[in-house]
A and B are shown apart, each in its own frame.
Chain A
Amino acid sequence: MSVRRADTLGGRAAVVGIGATEFSKDSGRSELTLAAEAVRAALDDAGLAPSDVDGLVTFTMDTSPEIAVAQATGIGELSFFSRVHYGGGAACATVQQAALAVATGIAEVVVCYRAFNERSGRRFGSGVQHREPSAEGTALGWNLPPGLLTPASWVAMAARRYLHTYGLTPEAFGHVAVTGRRYAATNPAAYFHGRPITLADHAASRPIVEPLRLLDCCQETDGGQALVVTTAERARDLRRPPALITAAAQGAGRAQEQMTSYYRDEFYPSDLAGLPEMGVVARQLWRTSGYGPADIDVAVLYDHFTPFVLMQLEEFGFCAPGEAAAFVADGALPLNTHGGQLGEAYLHGMNGIAEAVRQVRGSAVNQVPDVAHALVTAGTGVPTSGLILGRDGG
């Protein structure tokens, strides 16, 4: 699907393997080692061998090149390798890239991966104080001299405007945090396994960048996650039930910035209170799949910061603008059932795709009954991506 018309990719590829390392605060090994472990685990899950793989996709931010991962895992010659930019916005787009490759015969089996020591190594939360004067560095550079230096601060500027626009208080963000931690509490793989929180805990947590509090911010994680993609035909012969890639989309809005899209009121009436780039993704996913919000059985929405989960629900049309906090509190839509990045792990959205696959397979620890369609999204506030994964024959 393009921005203007439906595409022909939907249903032609599937996620057939998922694999991850443990999620920790100090992995004790290299990022390449984590990537290789995740790739091996995903191939084992799929019942495929490294020799079956001819494509690799990752993030531009990843430090482990495709060729290094191939060497470290015994993968042979590659006919397809690709990287997607814009931080966590790349997550679902790596699967889209893989689907494009296998659907067109460019490759047969493509592994998407992301691995980092984001907690024990370079922490994104520690902020930015310097940028090179490239176009990209200069764009972010407008924010640095007055001291707007962290991802939390870039999101908080939009979050404040969201509260102002709809007459809400910061407690509105608490429902997302409580939901994520409730699911994490029953997920043994989650860092916050066994540690649910209440709305009062959220309200009492210390300010990070007002209006955001500690419990509005996702954790930081060391770990790796990989996903194996092949054609729908081949998927049906493999070990696991396939998670068909029913629809896949990328989206960038007009006057798009990375985390600081503060200058586009001319193009979008929602202004800072919306995520127009996710609206671009949503329009494409609905059009190609033919589905709408009522068809989604479980949603895994990127949750590095709680306010953007609310805006995503509104962009996808699950509820009206300004009503997402009440929508989440109501609990009608199973949301971030692995615990999200708030509760399970911050793997730049890739662990969320794995959860959507498990929900479609019926193997999730917090399994939603009879999942036919799962929605999963990538990083918010940046150019982003999304997927609808479906049960074969569903």
Chain B
Amino acid sequence: MSGGDGARGAAVSGDDALYARLKAFEGRPAATGGRGKDPVNAAMIRHWCEAMGDTHPAYRGPDAVAPPTMLQAWTMGGLSGHTDRSPAYDELSALLDGAGCTAVVATDCEQEYLRPLRPGDEITFDAVIESVSPRKTTKLGSGYFVTTRMDVRVDGELAGAHRFRILKYVPGKGSSGPGGPAPEADPAPRKGTPEPVAAPRDAPARPRPVINRDNAGFWAGVAEHRLLIQRCTGCGRLRMPWLPGCARCGAPEWDTVEAGGGGTVHSYVVMHHPPFPAFDPPYAVALIALEEGVRLVAGVTGVPPDAVRVGMPVRLEFQQVRDGKGAWELPVFRAEPGAARAPREEG
């Protein structure tokens, strides 16, 4: 319950379209008609004081008052949860989740005490969404601070106010979940790394890599910006896609070699129809022949889709892609400078 300042040092990135929608929630209720699950009582006061090591005599005896910092404790839902949270607050949370701000951390709270609470007091409370900050970039990641203010009353009389602030943010590196690292604010981007794709406000779901135990090593490599090719240790054959055995000699043992990054477009398509929400047609997808002699399917960047050509030299890059549920890395191939001037060869 310290008065920390989670926003200290955060950089204001300016308003955006999402912020306008978030801002509209200011002043709307976060909880209405809340009632304390228990009246203020000596047992909870004693437990609190023992847990806090607080031996102040005012909290004991026939004329005891509750420790003022217990203000929020009287409003808590316990294991059975809250039933009084407002639709507005749920909408706000969903909007932030949809924008990729799926992580949450409580940053600080402030309390005001207008009258003591005593055993037997029945409390009621209401909360309001007091403010939503512009988008901020913090060490945890980029997101929005949401501040609620709860007014606690006894017999209709205001007894105290509890202001509570959280940060809803896009999870960044260092807080990787099962989906792998999500380098939102990589402090030292690798050379040649393209800018992340547009921020995922309301971003529709993108198809994810399909990862199992047989190809997890490939995607772990991609997360580290390394494109790893399987190599059969029986016959030395390089292979892509990854498989737990060699299609030439049948040997199960393998190691990996890292792709140098050079390649050419072996074939390609330009996607027009049907539309997929996460993609913006027309877009090109190519079968890349790596200089090592293996192939993989990847996007082509650096040229418009109608300028991609068979035989075009390309170079490996890694691109961060995101949707409303996360971010991950993909190998992409950038057309080498001048490559797009090749004449149109067909159709």
Contact = CB atoms under 8 A, between A and B. Distances in A.
Interface of A: 125-135, 137-150, 153, 156-158, 160-161, 163-164, 167-171, 206-211, 254-255, 260, 262-263, 266-267, 272
A262 B330 CA distance: 19
Contact of A209 (B205, B239, B271): B271
A128 B211 CA distance: 16
Interface stretch (B126-134, B139-147, B170-178, B262-270): B262-270
Interface in B235-249: 237, 239-241, 247-248
Interface in B270-284: 270-274, 276, 278-279, 282-283
Contact of B347 (A138, A208, A210): A210
Contacts of A254: 247
Contacts, number: 139
A147 to B, nearest CB: 5
Given A139-B241, A143-B297, A262-B295, A148 B346 contact: no
Contact of A157 (B208, B209, B269): B269
B138 to A, nearest CB: 29
A contacts with B: majority SS: loop
Most buried by B among A129, A145, A254, A272: A145
A310 B282 CA distance: 27
- B interface: dominant SS: loop
Given A127-B276, A153-B271, A207-B272, A263 B294 contact: yes
Interface string B195-216: 0000000000111111110110
A208 B295 contact: no
Contacts of A141: 209-211
B285 interface: yes
Given A138-B215, A161-B310, A130 B270 contact: no
Contacts of A209: 269-273
A304 to B, nearest CB: 16
B109 interface: no
A263 B295 contact: yes
B347 A163 contact: yes
A147 B273 contact: no
Pick from B266, B321, B346 the residue with the most CB of A within 10 Å: B346
Contacts of B279: 147
A206 B274 CA distance: 12
Contacts of A134: 212
Given A254-B247, A263-B295, A147 B285 contact: yes
Contact of A137 (B210, B248, B271, B332): B210
23 contacts: A127-B274, A127-B276, A129-B207, A129-B278, A135-B214, A142-B297, A144-B207, A146-B332, A147-B207, A147-B278, A149-B276, A157-B285, A160-B267, A160-B269, A160-B310, A167-B346, A208-B273, A209-B270, A209-B271, A210-B272, A254-B247, A255-B247, A267-B247
Contact of A163 (B240, B287, B297, B346): B346
A152 to B, nearest CB: 8
A22 to B, nearest CB: 26
Given A138-B211, A263-B295, A161 B276 contact: no
